[in-house]
């Protein structure tokens, strides 16, 4: 399992800087928002928490479609399925590797992007906290979606379609934490809900993902 994790991380590094690129996409989305909605800084400040969460979500989403597809195409998944590792472990490790390469850098870099969008000062802590708690759920749910669509050529858009609704609860609570934090309001409840979602998905979804993957391998 550790070998698998290390290999995935190594592959992410090799393939033109997997670590950096999720981040850069996040950067680009936050840069494009002002071009799209205009440069007024009060407007930007009021939508900043939401935009940052949306950016994180899309950065995750965009890297999902290769999460399992490459291993499928070159036959690695077939071979892993016949290996001594249970498929549940395989998908969990894949999700973890995805989080380390995409979610974690976003969490660490979020404050910088907050500056770009004039996020109010108290919001920074809560933005980082909500991302740290919420992004693992994005990776785990994303892995499930990737397992569902792995056999399909051009699964990319279908994958987004399947995964985005599943992301809605995480997005709502995550953005709510960040927004309330930015406005200096109380954030306990949504943060608790967010943590609950993350823990539940981590505990349960890998079984669904493995089952779905097994069906797709047939």
Partner 1 sequence: MTLTVTDLAIARGGVPVLEGLGFALEPGQALVVRGPNGIGKTTLLRAIAGLQPPLSGRIEGAEDRIAYAGHSDGIKPTLSVTENLTFWAAVFGARGIEGALDAYDLHELADRHAGNLSAGQKRRLGLARLLVTGRPVWVLDEPTVSLDKEAVGKFADAVRAHLGQGGSALIATHIDLGLDATTLEVGPFRALPKPVDDFDGDFL
Partner 2 sequence: MSIATKANAIWQYANPKKFLATTERVLPFFWISAAICLAVGLVWGFFFTPDDFRQGSTVKIIYLHVPSALMAINCWLMMLVTSLVWLVRRHHVSALAARAAAPIGVVMTLIALITGAIWGQPMWGTWWAWDPRLTSFLILFLFYLGYIALWEAIEDPDTAADLTSVLCLVGSVFAILSRYAVNFWNQGLHQGASVMRAGAVTGTDTTEKVSNVFFYPLFLCIIGFVLLFIALVLYRTGTEIRARRIRALLARERAGA
Distance in angstroms (rounded) separating the CA atoms of residues 62 and 6: 22
Count of CB atoms within 10 A of residue 51's CB?
Answer: 21
Distance in angstroms (rounded) separating the CA atoms of residues 164 and 135: 14
Distance in angstroms (rounded) separating the CA atoms of residues 64 and 8: 13
Q: Which is nearer to a copy of itself, 89 or 164 (CB)?
A: 164
Q: Which of 38, 153, 186, 188 binds partner 1 (CB under 8 A)?
A: 153
Q: Nearest Cα to 5, choosing from 63, 73, 85?
A: 85
DSSP state of 187: -
Q: Nearest Cα to 73, choosing from 190, 18, 152?
A: 152
Contact between 216 and partner 1 per CB under 8 A? no
Q: Nearest Cα to 3, choosing from 77, 90, 87, 70?
A: 90
Q: Within positions 38 to 97, which residues make up the interface with partner 1, using CB under 8 A?
A: 71, 73-76, 78-85
Contact between 192 and partner 1 per CB under 8 A? no
Rounded to a whole number of angstroms, the minimum distance from the CB of residue 8 to partner 1 is 10
Contact between 28 and a copy of itself per CB under 8 A? yes
Task: Compose the 106-145 pattern: x for residues touching a copy of itself by CB under 8 A, - for all others.
Answer: ----------------------------------------
Distance in angstroms (rounded) separating the CA atoms of residues 134 and 139: 9
Q: Site residues (CB under 8 A) for partner 1? A: 2-4, 7, 10-11, 14-15, 71, 73-76, 78-85, 153, 217-218
Residues that bind a copy of itself (CB under 8 A): 15-16, 18, 21-22, 24-25, 28, 32-33, 35-38, 43, 46-47, 49-51, 53-54, 57-58, 62-63, 65-66, 70, 73, 152-158, 160-161, 164-165, 167-168, 171-172, 175, 179
């Amino acid at each position: 399992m550790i070998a698998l994790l290390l290999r995935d991380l190594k592959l992410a590094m090799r393939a033109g800087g997997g670590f950096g690129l999720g981040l850069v996409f996040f950067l680009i989305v936050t840069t494009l928002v002002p071009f799209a909605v205009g440069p007024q800084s009060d407007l930007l400040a009021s939508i900043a928490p939401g935009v940052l969460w949306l950016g994180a979500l899309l950065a995750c989403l965009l890297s999902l479609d290769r999460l399992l597809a490459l291993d499928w195409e070159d036959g690695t998944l077939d071979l892993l399925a016949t290996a001594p590792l249970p498929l549940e472990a395989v998908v969990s490790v894949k999700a973890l590797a995805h989080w380390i390469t995409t979610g974690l850098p976003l969490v660490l870099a979020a404050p910088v992007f907050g500056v770009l969008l004039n996020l109010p000062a108290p919001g920074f802590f809560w933005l980082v906290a909500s991302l740290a708690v919420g992004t693992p759920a994005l990776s785990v749910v994303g892995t499930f979606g990737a397992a569902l669509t792995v056999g399909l050529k051009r699964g990319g858009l279908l994958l987004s379609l399947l995964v985005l609704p599943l992301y809605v609860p995480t997005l709502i609570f995550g953005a709510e934490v960040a927004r309330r934090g930015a406005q200096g309001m109380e954030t306990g409840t949504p943060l608790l809900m967010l943590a609950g979602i993350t823990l539940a998905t981590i505990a349960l979804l890998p079984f669904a993902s493995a089952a779905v993957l097994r069906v797709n391998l047939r």
